[in-house]
Structure formats: structure tokens, C-alpha cells
């Protein structure tokens, strides 16, 4: 426990510059005999990239000549444990969704891989809830890893009630107990698939309660494993005393020497003045975070080093994990070899590009939706960028490529909205930092321009509706528009509550995957889509 006397001494040392160095030397000198060195290995947002990714970031189906993958993560952790007795390995959530492995095999293939992963604990991301609480409960029952999520409060009628989810785990390293507190993604209440009996408690209050509980048990070294995003992690580090390290996920942030988001680790300070190390390791199982921390006798980090190291193709793989991945890859062959079309369009594409603006996969989908909807009177199509998970590769496009790009196979509806409701939806789509993120709306039949340096909710500069002849007319807030859009949006997902209100005209018999596949088949080779639909002004 970080005692009040220790905290007062530490604050005094930092407050008096003339004696600060001497005080810190005295404190650390006295504590040296009780210090602990801990090596922390961590991954996050692996998103079913079981065999890693190629040089272009596309999912691989065999790890040879690819970067990362679960086999390399497992091998690196095992090697570290063979060399040292002070290793803790963690996964910060979002193992589900992102490649054809998950689109076809769903949670059983993730559970099979987890059966060989040498993690000490994992927490839950938002995508673990994509197929509902019952599917997640089945996954938790099938895989062996300890799952920590202190803020998840399933009601008695929720399938997760009674599952193996715990608020924290305690590991003993060189005779010293280390607490690992989990904080699941707290935005799951906005996900339509989550049962209404699943509640999430206040994140900061929950963390403070868990820290106090662990400290009461004599645990002085505390790691928080979150799926909240880097900005939220940094805010928690500044708000709660008693936390030493936050291992995060959700924002897909890479920290390191070349990262615009900052070095590895980022260092914040808790209210008591103690340093808090914040780390995260990108996405797609390409990197493994590797942080070594030396704690003083009071359990405060005194020095540290490490990096989110890239798992290059020359690194070894764990053969048992590779066998599971190879067996799963064999079941995907038919989808991967069924060619439905192709293109030679050179423009931004892929998950991150779609969250930042126009992208090929996003525009192809909304164009397919609008082409279908026009026969029903629709003039606008909307789709959230978070539903686009990969690029449409140049050259031949397989059925598997379509399933990878649009893995949710979500329903499509035609509804009627006012221009004001559409304006509100577009504002919600650009409300995140820099107007970038999964809420960003890909559009057809519309053009919109925004200044994302303005406060959220007041960023739109102009919105125009395009007729079939390509003529633009300003959006009329009072007029009514027929819109074809993803069912996820009509359920209010990602805060699109205004899109729940439109009058339902028709439910499409095809889902987004099927509409896209039909469109690609009929229009291949795909022509370059009309650009200029999304214009986001950002500060340099």
C-alpha cells in the first residue's frame, strides 16, 4: 500500500526543487532492497488476424512471410517466460471481428486459439458483444483465459450472469502480489446486440473501488487492463491514485518513436503525484507491447523501458497455435477462391482510411445500397464507417474479400427522414476527435463539408443532396427524404438515436454483404466512384 507518509514525502521532494534530487535518492536508496522488476507483455485489438498480416496490412491465412499473428505472440511470451520469472502477459480486448476467420468461424475459432495462448488475463472489447450476450457467454465458457471486467454488471436475466467474469486477478511475481483490474468497453450499451439487462458501472468510480479493495488486501502493484481508448486511459491515469500501469486498447493506438500519438510508454501522474505508465500496441496482432518496470518498495514505478515491438516474419511461431490456425484456414478456401468481380481503382481504402474520409469499400457499398433503393424512391444512402473492416483488394475480388470488408452482414432498411434528422446524423458521425472514427458516415446521394476544429455538434458547413443527374441542391431541414441505410443505424447504434425515428418504408431482403456482392458482380470491373462526397477540414 502506498502509505500517506510516503506520498507526503514524495510530494515534498517534488515541490522543493533544491532538495528534490536528494530526497528521491534517499527514498529510492532505502527502498532498493524491496524493489520489484516486472516485465509486462501485452496485445490489443487483434481482431481475428490469427495468421498476421502482409506488408499492405491485409489479413494472412498462413503466417509464413507475414507480420505478427497469434502464433508469434504466443511464441514471444513463452520465450520471455523461459528466460525470466517475472512476466505477466495480457490481452486488452477485441479479439473478435476483422478477418474472414471470424466472419465464417465466429467465436469457436477464437476460443480454440485462446486455448493455447499464454495470457494471464484478458478483458472484453466492444466487438466481443457483436453477436450478443448469449454468444459471448458461450465463448467465455469455452475458452480458458481469466476474464476481468470490473465495470460489467450483467443482470440476472442476461446470459452473462454467472459467467467467469471477475473484477480483477492477482498474480504473484517473485513473491510480490500484483493486481490486474479489468475495465471492459463501457460503450456497449449503445450496441443493439447487447441485451438490455447488461449494465456498465461508472468507470472511474469502479476503478477507485477496486484499487481500494486491492490495497486493503496488501496489494501495492496495480495494473489496469482496459478497452476504453487512449484518451480515456490517460484521463483515468490522471484521476485515480494507486494505479501503476494502464494497458489499453480500442483506439488502435501505436505508441513509439515514430508515432504521432506519443512515445512508449506515455507517462501521466496520478493525483498523489506518482507516475502512471500508459501503453497500447496498435492492432491486428502485428505488435507485442514489451514493458519492463522497476518498482520501489512502496510499489511506485521508479524506472522503465520498452517498446511495442513489431513481430517480423523471421520470428518463430508457436506450432500448437499454428495448427489451430491452419485448420481454420482450410475451412475458408471455398470463399477465398470464389471470384465475383474485380477492379483497378487506385484510391484510399481499408478500415482506417474509411474512418478518416472517403474510401473505395465504403463508396462501393453505399452506391450498391442507393442503386437498390432508387427503385423504392430513395435518394440517399448512409452507412457507418465502423461497419467497413477492410479494403476491396485491387485485381480479382473474391466472396471472402466481400465478407471481410463487410463482416457484419447487417440488414438494410428504407426509411423516411426530415432534412434536420439527416443533418443531426451527419453531425454525430463527425463528433469524434478530428472527425475521425467508426461513426463517420459514408454517403451516396449526399455531399457534406465540415470543419472538425469546431466544437462537436457545430461542425457541418454545408450539406447538399444530389439528384440522379448529379445536380446538387442544399439539404432542406423541413423536407422529407427517403433513405436506404444499415439496420444498425436504425437501431440507434453508435449514438445515432435520430435515425431510430424515421418512418419505416421497407426492409430489404438482402443484407449489406449480399447487396455489395451483387453490385460488384454486375459492375465489374468497378469504375472509379464519384468522389467529393466527404470534405473534412482539419487543422494542420
pLDDT digits (tens, 9 = 90+) for 306-339: 999 999 999 999 999 999 999 999 999 999 999 9
Q: Which of 451, 430, 443 is nearest to 362 (CA)?
A: 443
Residue pair 477/423 in contact by the 8 Å Cβ criterion: yes
Specify the 3-state DSSP secondary structure of 85. coil
What's the pLDDT tens digit per position in 186-213? 999 888 889 999 999 999 999 999 999 9
Give the model's pLDDT for residue 106: 96
Give the model's pLDDT for residue 297: 87
Q: Hey, what's the cell of 112?
A: 480454440
What's the pLDDT tens digit per position in 165-192? 999 999 999 999 999 999 999 999 888 8
Q: Which distant-in-sequence residues (6+ apart) come within 8 Å of 277 by Cβ?
A: 244, 245, 246, 265, 266, 267, 291, 293, 301, 304
What's the pLDDT tens digit per position in 269-302? 999 999 999 999 999 999 999 999 999 988 999 9
Statement: residue 127 has pLDDT above 90: yes
Residue pair 149/165 in contact by the 8 Å Cβ criterion: yes
pLDDT (average), residues 45-70: 95
Q: Which of 389, 335, 378, 359 is nearest to 512 (CA)?
A: 389
Residue pair 191/127 in contact by the 8 Å Cβ criterion: no
Torsion of CA 26, 27, 30, 32, to 10 degrees: -110
Give the model's pLDDT for residue 189: 85
Cα gap 215→418, rounded to integer Å: 55
Give the model's pLDDT for residue 97: 94
Vertex 219: Cα angle to 213 and 225 (nearest 5) = 75
Residue pair 443/382 in contact by the 8 Å Cβ criterion: yes
CB atoms within 10 A of CB 202: 11
Cα gap 496→488, rounded to integer Å: 9
Residue pair 240/208 in contact by the 8 Å Cβ criterion: yes
pTM here is: 0.88
Residue pair 107/138 in contact by the 8 Å Cβ criterion: yes
Cα gap 114→158, rounded to integer Å: 24
Q: Does 78 sit behind a cis peptide bond, omega within 30 degrees of 0 on the bond before it?
A: no
Cα gap 470→485, rounded to integer Å: 20
Give the model's pLDDT for residue 33: 55
Position of cell 513473491? 175
Secondary structure (H, E, C), 253-321: CECCCCCCCCCCCEEEECCCCCEEEEECECCCCCEEEEEEEEECCCCCEEEEEEEEEECCCCCCCCHHH
What's the pLDDT tens digit per position in 212-221? 999 999 999 9
Cα gap 128→97, rounded to integer Å: 8
Cα gap 290→288, rounded to integer Å: 6
Q: Residue 308, exposed/middle/buried by CB under 10 A (0-12, 13-18, 19+)?
A: buried
Give the model's pLDDT for residue 540: 62
Give the model's pLDDT for residue 404: 94
At residue 483 the predicted structure's pLDDT band, cuts being 50, 70 and 90, is: very high
Domains located in the chain, CATH noted: 1-31 (no CATH), 35-330 (3.60.21.10), 339-537 (3.90.780.10)
Q: Which of 251, 245, 261, 250 is nearest to 306 (CA)?
A: 245
Four-residue CA torsion sign, 283, 108, 361, 420: negative
What's the pLDDT tens digit per position in 495-526? 999 999 999 999 999 999 999 999 999 999 99
The DSSP code sequence of 154-202 is E-TTSTTTTSSEESEEEEEETTEEEEEEEE--TTGGG-TTS-TTEEE--
The more confidently predicted of residues 540 and 251 is 251
Q: Which residues make beta-bridge pairs with 223?
A: 180, 245
Q: Considering the chain, what percentage of its residues have pLDDT values greater than 70?
A: 94
Question: What does pLDDT average to over the chain?
Answer: 92
Four-residue CA torsion sign, 351, 355, 360, 364: positive
Specify the 3-state DSSP secondary structure of 447. strand
What's the pLDDT tens digit per position in 5-27? 334 333 333 333 333 343 333 33
CB atoms within 10 A of CB 56: 8
Q: Hey, what's the cell of 82?
A: 523461459
Q: Which residues make beta-bridge pairs with 396?
A: 342
What's the pLDDT tens digit per position in 339-395? 999 999 999 999 999 999 999 999 999 999 999 999 999 999 999 999 999 999 999
Cα gap 224→101, rounded to integer Å: 29
Vertex 231: Cα angle to 42 and 428 (nearest 5) = 120
Torsion of CA 380, 386, 391, 396, to 10 degrees: -60
Amino acid at each position: 500500500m502506498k502509505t500517506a507518509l510516503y506520498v507526503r514525502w514524495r510530494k515534498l521532494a517534488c515541490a522543493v526543487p533544491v532538495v528534490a534530487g536528494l530526497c528521491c535518492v534517499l527514498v529510492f536508496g532505502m527502498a532498493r532492497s524491496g524493489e520489484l522488476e516486472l516485465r509486462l507483455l501485452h496485445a490489443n485489438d487483434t481482431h481475428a488476424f490469427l495468421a498476421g498480416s502482409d506488408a499492405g496490412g491485409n489479413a494472412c491465412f498462413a503466417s509464413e512471410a507475414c507480420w505478427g499473428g497469434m502464433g508469434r505472440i504466443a511464441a514471444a511470451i513463452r520465450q520471455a517466460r523461459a528466460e525470466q520469472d517475472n512476466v505477466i502477459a495480457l490481452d486488452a480486448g477485441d479479439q473478435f471481428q476483422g478477418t474472414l476467420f471470424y466472419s465464417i468461424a465466429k467465436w469457436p475459432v477464437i476460443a480454440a486459439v485462446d486455448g493455447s495462448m499464454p495470457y494471464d488475463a484478458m478483458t472484453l472489447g466492444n466487438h466481443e458483444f457483436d453477436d450478443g450476450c448469449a454468444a459471448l457467454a458461450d465463448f467465455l465458457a469455452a475458452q480458458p483465459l481469466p476474464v476481468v471486467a470490473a465495470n460489467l454488471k450483467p443482470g440476472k436475466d442476461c446470459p452473462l450472469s454467472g459467467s467467469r467474469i471477475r473484477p480483477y486477478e492477482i498474480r504473484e511475481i517473485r513473491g510480490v502480489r500484483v493486481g490486474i483490474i479489468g475495465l471492459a468497453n463501457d460503450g456497449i450499451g449503445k450496441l443493439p446486440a447487447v441485451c438490455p439487462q447488461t449494465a456498465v458501472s461508472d468507470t472511474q468510480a469502479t476503478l477507485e473501488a477496486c484499487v481500494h479493495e486491492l490495497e486493503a488486501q496488501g496489494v501495492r502493484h496495480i495494473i489496469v487492463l482496459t478497452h476504453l481508448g487512449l484518451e480515456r486511459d490517460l484521463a483515468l491515469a490522471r484521476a485515480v491514485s494507486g494505479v501503476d500501469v494502464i494497458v489499453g486498447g480500442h483506439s488502435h493506438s501505436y505508441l513509439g518513436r515514430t508515432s504521432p500519438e506519443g512515445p512508449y510508454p506515455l507517462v501521466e501522474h496520478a493525483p498523489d503525484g506518482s507516475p502512471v505508465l500508459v501503453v497500447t500496441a496498435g492492432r491486428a496482432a502485428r505488435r507485442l507491447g514489451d514493458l519492463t518496470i522497476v518498482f520501489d518498495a512502496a510499489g511506485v514505478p521508479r524506472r522503465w523501458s520498452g517498446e511495442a515491438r513489431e513481430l517480423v516474419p523471421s520470428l518463430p511461431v508457436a506450432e500448437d497455435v499454428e495448427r489451430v490456425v491452419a485448420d481454420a484456414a482450410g475451412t475458408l478456401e471455398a470463399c477465398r477462391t470464389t471470384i465475383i468481380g474485380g477492379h483497378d481503382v487506385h484510391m484510399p481504402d481499408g478500415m482506417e482510411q474509411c474512418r478518416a474520409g472517403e474510401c473505395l469499400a465504403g463508396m462501393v457499398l453505399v452506391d450498391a445500397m442507393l442503386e437498390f433503393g432508387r427503385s423504392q424512391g430513395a435518394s440517399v444512402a448512409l452507412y457507418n464507417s465502423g461497419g467497413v473492416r477492410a479494403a476491396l483488394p485491387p485485381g480479382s475480388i473474391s466472396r471472402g474479400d466481400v465478407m471481410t470488408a463487410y463482416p457484419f452482414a447487417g440488414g438494410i432498411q428504407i426509411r423516411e427522414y426530415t432534412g434536420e434528422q439527416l443533418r443531426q446524423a451527419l453531425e454525430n458521425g463527425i463528433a469524434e476527435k478530428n472527425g475521425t472514427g467508426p461513426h463517420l458516415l459514408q454517403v451516396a446521394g449526399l455531399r457534406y463539408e465540415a470543419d472538425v476544429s469546431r466544437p462537436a455538434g457545430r461542425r457541418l458547413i454545408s450539406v447538399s443532396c444530389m439528384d440522379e443527374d448529379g445536380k446538387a441542391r442544399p439539404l432542406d431541414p423541413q423536407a422529407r427524404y427517403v433513405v436506404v441505410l444499415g439496420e444498425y443505424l436504425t437501431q440507434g447504434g453508435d449514438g445515432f438515436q435520430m435515425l431510430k425515428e424515421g418512418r419505416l418504408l421497407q426492409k430489404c431482403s438482402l443484407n449489406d454483404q449480399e447487396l455489395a456482392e451483387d453490385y460488384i458482380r454486375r459492375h465489374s470491373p468497378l469504375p472509379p466512384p464519384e468522389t467529393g462526397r466527404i470534405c473534412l477540414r482539419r487543422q494542420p
